[in-house]
Amino acid sequence: MLSGLFKYLKFLITSSNQHGVHSPFVYNFITRSIYTKTRYKGNKVIDVLLKSVDYFEAKVILLPKEDIVLKDLIQKNSSKMAFQGKPYDIIYLEHPDEVSHQEYGPSGNRVHNDSMLLINSIHKNKKMETHWENIKKWEHVTVTLDFFYCGAVFFRKEQAEEHFKIRI
């Protein structure tokens, strides 16, 4: 328990809000989506997911297969959503160790230039943090947002490589 508290305090010290962001893409995403007062759910990760679906007007999303409750929640908020078909606009995974470079790399067909990969539990333990750090090093990953509770990965070719820690 104390280890998690120290991780979170360290995150707070090293993170910023929208004022520490120098990327127009990230700034707009944070201010027009993540920091809006609308709250979909008490869970911060689900809130980020639902706000991202709205902001990016996602049409095709990949969720963990067994999460029917989450699928229903997304459909209530965005009726034009499909859960099958590739490439995906948003991919939501429960753990960073579920991500492989082969599946989500440039040779795979799961993501496109504007896809977002949202990963829960990136700071759950040392193993998950190591997976998160490895994902950030992939050559085709251009932007990552560490929200502590989850992480967002973007593959935008027109974007300079940047990694942010953002308080939510």
* Residue pLDDT, tens place only, 27-51: 999 999 999 988 777 799 999 999 9
Tokens coding 39: 């709250």
* Residue pLDDT, tens place only, 100-151: 776 776 667 789 999 999 999 999 989 999 999 999 999 899 999 999 999 9
Considering its fold, how many domains does the chain have in total? 1
Question: What CATH number is attached to the domain comprising 109?
Answer: 3.40.50
Task: Give the pLDDT band of residue 2 (cuts 50, 70, 90).
Answer: low
The pTM for the full model equals 0.89
* Residue pLDDT, tens place only, 52-83: 999 999 999 999 877 788 888 888 877 778 88
Report the C-alpha gap between 23 and 18 in whole angstroms.
10
Structural domain of residue 68, as residue ranges?
2-165
Q: Strands 162-165 and 143-146: what pairing?
A: parallel
Angle, vertex CA 120, rays to CA 58 and CA 95, nearest 5:
110
Dihedral sign, Cα of residue 29, residue 146, residue 15, residue 36: positive
% the chain with pLDDT above 90: 49
Report the C-alpha gap between 15 and 166 in whole angstroms.
5
Report the C-alpha gap between 112 and 8 in whole angstroms.
32
The predicted structure's pLDDT at residue 95:
76
- What is the 8-class DSSP label of residue 4? H
The predicted structure's pLDDT at residue 96:
72
Q: Given a cut of 70, is residue 1 above it in pLDDT?
A: no
Report the C-alpha gap between 61 and 42 in whole angstroms.
21
